[in-house]
Structure 1
Amino acid sequence: MLVGLGCAVGASLCYGIGSVLQAVAAADADRAGHLDPRLLLRLLKAWPYLLGLALDGAGFVLSLVALRSLPLYVVQAVVASFLAVTAVVGAVFLGTRVRVLEGVALAAVVLGLALVSLSAAADSVRAPGTRVEWLVLAAAVALTLLAVPLGRLSGPRGAWALGGVAGLAFGVVAVAARALLSSAAAGDLVPPVHVWAGSPATYALLVAAPLALATYATALQRGSVVQATAPLVVGGDRAARARRSGPAG
């Protein structure tokens, strides 16, 4: 369990620093007036964004390792503390001001997440069932349809709305990854290729992952890194809790 907690904390640091690097790249890129997939192509030419994605990838791998011994909601709760990392790093490198009240709130969040982590117990990996996997795929498609009109919102409203969609999409990615991870045989880190190809969770990943990146990148252009990241954290946490209370298949 301690290894799982350590990996979850490492994932939080990776996500927090990666968010600031992506915000730097988004600020320098040409602004998109709507949800434009070409924004990702432009950002992929910027080294801060690529480094931010690399850190996100490292965080994702660390979260997968954490999921081997901890419940999904606990991993998501610890990883969600990257909002505090984002706020601190953003204040140092982007000059983003963190008010006293916001600092107190962030400290309270981190303390609450730490208490949740300390109350965690080892968890066995169980297959969620085909019905849940289809529901996850349906959620990914629904979020894609929702993101199109929300992509036209400007200013902080757009940052909050698109950040929330990004959070839900990242939550779908986490749930889909857990579903695929639970399909692995004992002793295997990941399931074989034929399991991935036949699982609706795989296609949920293929839809939700680029959607999450595109909506978050657009949100970073509509507001500050904290404004875009805060709803992302809330959305991802809600998705994780929905899976925890959802059907077992």
Structure 2
Amino acid sequence: MLIGLLTAIAASICYGTGSVLQAVGSRRAAGAEPDPTGLTQHGGPNLSSTAKAALTWEFILGTVLDFVGFGLGALAARLLPLFLSQTVISANLVITAVLSVKLLGIRLTRREWASIGVVCGALVMLATAAGHEGGHHAASATHWWLLAVTVALMLGGTVAVRLLGPRAAILAGLLSGLGFGALGVGVRILDGVDPFDVTTVLTDPALYAIVIAGVGGMYLHTVALQLGSVNGATAALVVGETVLPGAIGVLWLGDASRPGLAWLAVLGFLLAVAGAVAVAWYGNHDPAPTTPAPLPTPTPAPPTPVRG
């Protein structure tokens, strides 16, 4: 349990730092080369503008941290109940919020700090109430359903954010979170890991769900960072990343709380989600670029009367 918690915390730090660095890279790319052709007809970023953001050194470093976080998160998903591992990893919201103050110049309101405090308190409740981890086996049909749902979410989300344009920031963050949640479930049920069998791993649909969820979730998260507040996008990601795998772990994989502490686990889970939603609601406050006020139009002088 302790090793799993430390692994999940390390993954959370990597993800939170990576999100802020990616936001810095996205905004630097947009500021260096403002280009109206980088938008779709609905006002959202096209693939070319997203690719330009991904080529900045800040974004590349943030992506490397995301990959490290992915490895640590995958290990945590195998060691802890999903409702605990995914919620601890989702605490990257706190890292993101604190670093955004320093690196992005964002000033957090009292409501945001209070919401972050609720998330931290909820994580303590979950860690206290978490019991044994369930199994890693799921029926073959479950693996195929996970792949089908993952493909539908990632493709549908990509189309939706392109159509909605600037209004899609929170939706893109939520869908990226659902992708990362599906990734966590896939890692948990992946066949051929213990004992390791490369043929079993390569023929398991869950492996391809993991790949599609990882790539699609990364793309949608990048779009969310381009469109809106880093804190709001990350908070929406937290909701999607936490609710789906937590419910699946309890309902189908046998994850459980300690005897007599189920109420504390449920309360902690609900407070964690509510706190993340609150940060998403209050956190969409990135200052818009200021434009100088237009100079007042001078009043023309009255015509000079002509004599004669």
Same-fold status (TM-score > 0.5):
yes
Q: Distance in 1 between matches of 2:83 and 2:243?
A: 9
Q: Distance in 2 between matches of 1:172 and 1:224?
A: 24
Q: Counterpart in 1 of 2:143?
A: 133
Q: Counterpart in 2 of 1:93?
A: 103
Q: Counterpart in 1 of 2:130?
A: 120
Q: Distance in 1 between matches of 2:71 and 2:80?
A: 14
Q: Counterpart in 1 of 2:193?
A: 184
Q: Distance in 2 between matches of 1:39 and 1:134?
A: 34
The SS at the match of 2:163 is coil
Cα displacement string for residues 81-134 of structure 1 (whole angstroms, at most 9, x for unaligned residues): 111111111011111121001101111111111220122234254212211111
Structure 1 counterpart of 2:60, which letter?
Answer: L
Q: Distance in 1 between matches of 2:160 and 2:253?
A: 33
Deviating above 3 A after TM superposition, structure 1's stretches of 4 or more consecutive aligned residues are: 30-41, 245-249
Cα distance change on mapping 1:43 and 1:150 into 2, 3 Å = closer
Q: Is the 8 A contact 2:173 2:234 kept in 1?
A: yes
Shift of 1:202: 1.3
Q: Distance in 2 between matches of 1:183 and 1:207?
A: 19
Q: Counterpart in 1 of 2:10?
A: 10
Q: Between 145-154 and 166-175, report the one with greater CA deviation.
A: 145-154
Q: Distance in 2 between matches of 1:170 and 1:160?
A: 15
Matching of residue 67 in structure 1 with residue 72 in structure 2: no
The SS at the match of 1:135 is helix
1:151 is matched with which residue: 159, 162, 178?
162
Structure 1 counterpart of 2:236, which letter?
Answer: P
Matching of residue 175 in structure 1 with residue 185 in structure 2: yes
Q: Distance in 2 between matches of 1:68 and 1:207?
A: 20
TM-score, reference length from structure 1: 0.90
The SS at the match of 2:126 is helix
Shift of 1:36: 3.8
Q: Is the 8 A contact 1:17 1:86 kept in 2?
A: yes
Q: Distance in 1 between matches of 2:80 and 2:218?
A: 26
Matching of residue 83 in structure 1 with residue 88 in structure 2: no
Cα displacement string for residues 11-63 of structure 1 (whole angstroms, at most 9, x for unaligned residues): 11111111000101111234543464444532342111111111111111112
Q: Distance in 2 between matches of 1:37 and 1:80?
A: 27
Q: Distance in 1 between matches of 2:173 and 2:60?
A: 20
1:199 is matched with which residue: 184, 204, 208?
204
Q: Is the 8 A contact 2:78 2:188 kept in 1?
A: no
Q: Distance in 2 between matches of 1:114 and 1:100?
A: 21
Q: Is the 8 A contact 1:39 1:214 kept in 2?
A: no
Matching of residue 166 in structure 1 with residue 176 in structure 2: yes
Q: Is the 8 A contact 1:40 1:217 kept in 2?
A: yes
Cα displacement string for residues 52-77 of structure 1 (whole angstroms, at most 9, x for unaligned residues): 11111111111222233211111001
Q: Distance in 2 between matches of 1:136 and 1:29?
A: 35
Q: Distance in 2 between matches of 1:68 and 1:200?
A: 18
Q: Counterpart in 2 of 1:233?
A: 238
Aligned residues: 243
Taking only the aligned residue pairs, the percentage that are identical comes to 35
Q: Distance in 2 between matches of 1:35 and 1:92?
A: 26
Q: Counterpart in 1 of 2:53?
A: 43
Q: Which has the larger radius of gyration?
A: 2
Ranges in structure 1 where 5+ consecutive residues have no aligned partner: none
The SS at the match of 2:137 is coil
Matching of residue 105 in structure 1 with residue 115 in structure 2: yes
Q: Between 34-43 and 96-105, report the one with greater CA deviation.
A: 34-43
Q: Counterpart in 1 of 2:259?
A: none
Shift of 1:7: 0.7
Q: Distance in 2 between matches of 1:193 and 1:49?
A: 32
